[in-house]
Chain A
């Protein structure tokens, strides 16, 4: 999928664990793992809003568009 989720990058920048984020936004670890590994098919605005609020970032910091050819490389 050409949309890359950079949640792990932002977590590393904020020195935060996935479990901590999970507890703060009230989303299960398994669902956050699905999001982090790029297996998710969609993300709700409410989820994105909570992640941005906790990580103090913009949606563009978490989501990135990489064309298929580039992502294949």
Chain B
């Protein structure tokens, strides 16, 4: 059947990516958890411990520096420097931002795993001969909602992160990059409606004698 090869390759590719994502997520969570337990709250003695680093896009309010030196907050709780076009913020793993970022990374890891699980389930439940399954309309919708949800979390994160970072460096306006999740998610929501209609038509066709 036409498209059989493409479908098989894509299905196998998604299966491989699924396991790679699981492996990456597990490694990420283990490393983050280890650093959370071993890390410090401030930057005083953590240079050898690889502090938590954030690259955040700036509005470009500050004058660009040629040397990009770090400036420290009171008590060396955080450090900030500004290479061209972005800020680099360093904090300890056991600082409030560190705890917050750990929670957020666990949340996003869960979202990634759930999204990949749903995507894999879609490919496992369909074949090129029977491409329409009622459960997949729900799965496509869930992935769409997940992508929108992740972007909403990113927007909320921006506000919270900005609030937390400004405790150390007042005046610095930080902007976390927001992805295309809302657009892709909206597209998937529309696609799920079309797919659901496809399932209905397919079902009607199956019951036409």
Q: In this assembly, does B204 line the interface, its C-beta being within 8 Å of a C-beta of chain A?
A: yes
Q: In this assembly, does A42 line the interface, its C-beta being within 8 Å of a C-beta of chain B?
A: yes
CB contact list, B180-209 vs A, under 8 A:
204, 207-209
CA distance A42 to B207 in the complex (A): 7
* List of A residues within 8 angstroms of B209 by Cβ: 27, 31-32, 34-35, 40, 42-44, 47
Chain A CB count within 10 A is highest, among B207, B208, B209, for B209
Interface size for chain B: under 10, 10 to 19, 20 to 34, or 35 or more residues?
under 10
Closest partner residue, chain B, to A39 (CB atom): B207
CA distance A26 to B207 in the complex (A): 17
* List of A residues within 8 angstroms of B204 by Cβ: 41-42
* List of B residues within 8 angstroms of A39 by Cβ: 207
* List of B residues within 8 angstroms of A41 by Cβ: 204, 207-208
Closest partner residue, chain B, to A30 (CB atom): B209
CB contact list, A13-55 vs B, under 8 A:
27, 31-32, 34-35, 39-44, 47
Closest partner residue, chain A, to B203 (CB atom): A41
CA distance A40 to B208 in the complex (A): 6
Contact with A along B141-166 (1 / 0, CB 8 A): 00000000000000000000000000
CA distance A35 to B204 in the complex (A): 13
B163: shortest Cβ distance to chain A, in Å? 57
Could you jot down 22 A-B contacts, CB within 8 Å?
A27-B209, A31-B209, A32-B209, A34-B207, A34-B209, A35-B209, A39-B207, A40-B207, A40-B208, A40-B209, A41-B204, A41-B207, A41-B208, A42-B204, A42-B207, A42-B208, A42-B209, A43-B208, A43-B209, A44-B208, A44-B209, A47-B209
Residues of chain A whose beta carbon lies under 8 Å from any beta carbon of chain B: 27, 31-32, 34-35, 39-44, 47
Q: Which 8 pairs of residues, A with B, have the shortest CB-CB distance?
A: A41-B207, A42-B208, A35-B209, A40-B209, A31-B209, A41-B204, A43-B209, A40-B207
